[in-house]
Amino acid sequence: MYMDRRSFLKRSAAGVAVAACQWSGASRLLANDDTASKGDKNDKSNSVIDDKNYRHLMGLGVSPIGLGCLPMVGYYGGKYDKNEMIALIRRAYDKGVTFFDTAEVYGPYTSEEWVGEALQPFRSEVKIATKFGFGVEEGKPTSLNSRPDHIRRAVEGSLRRLRTDHIDLLYQHRVDPNVPMEDVAGTVADLIAEGKVLHFGMSEASARSIRKAHRECPVTAVQSEYAIWWREPETKIFLTLEELGIGFVPYCPLGRAFLTGTIDENCRFQKGDRRWNLPQFTPEALKHNMPLVHLVKKHAERKGITMAQFALVWMLSRESWIVPIPGTTNPAHLDDFLRAANIRLTPEELAAFDNDYSQIHLMGHRADAFTESQIDK
């Protein structure tokens, strides 16, 4: 089901909405802050998330904000120390995060290995989401592959790297047009029956594909890019998710740091930083889109919170089935955005922001041509 953007914005004033991204990386703007404390392993007294704010994605209970673990393997450039990243993951757990997102293709494999080692001491207290769908085992990590035999090999590898006997949420990373959805969802359903997987998810899937998969195997959550400056899921899949009771897990909710106030029109990105060839991060687009940064800053200050917190609170305030997964390599950034977990905007505050937002024209697509070619339409 499709809804045009203008109609959706009118509806969102009453309560619908937005986003998710990896805030961190390796550029100078997102460098580690070594002054931040590590947190005490297994000491849940450090939690900053109220129990009442935990959410349910079709029966999968998770913290209202998860942790995306892709930036830790250098997605935005640079190399990060394994022990420091394991400490960061455990710090997130200490502060109340129970939902951790990874994939076999992140590294490849490295992210799953670090997540598995970090969470092993308290595996029963957390939910781990990982993904299949690229030809990693075949040495073709940028090619789609969701054949049933590949799915099974991917799952066995993920179980081993994650040091667990089950995957809480298994996503199809991208819809594979060469494999019938009935075969994909049917294979995952078999894995669920075997106890190796507990819940099925999809990533960057169209409403049509979501419905087709859901008929074969209940879909617990859909993950897509979503943020204040990229709201396409609202008009493309939100009505379908709401109708079917499926949760939404936005990645890049902080607009790859654009919405945090750490990027201005003079920033330039080098090859090796994922943003270097994205249309939203060209010099022209950065300059053109700065009014949005000023708008987020104005409303964040009015609420008495940081820009990163506002970007997350904005979406958390709209629907109880939205769980963003910002990522970071920086303990101070982690502490900052997790404080958004207990804050909500009033309907009046949401309406005021959306009214101001509707006056802004944004420039630049979210993906490069190759990435866009693998996104289900």
Burial of 45 (0-12, 13-18, 19+ CB in 10 A): exposed
CA atoms within 13 Å, Cβ hemisphere of 217: 24
Residues 154/159/161/167 CA torsion (nearest 10 deg): 100
| DSSP 8-state assignment for residue 178 | T
Partnered with residue 224 across adjacent β-strands are: 250
Query: What span, in angstroms and rounded, lies between the C-alpha atoms of 152 and 95?
Result: 34
Of 75, 76, 93, 106, which is the active-site residue? 106
Query: What span, in angstroms and rounded, lies between the C-alpha atoms of 209 and 27?
Result: 36
The three-state secondary structure class of 209 is helix
Tokens 């640079």 found at = 78
Catalytic status, residue 54? no
Give backbone dihedrals phi and psi of 18, rounded to 5 degrees, phi first: -130, 155
Query: What span, in angstroms and rounded, lies between the C-alpha atoms of 120 and 135?
Result: 27
Catalytic residues: 106
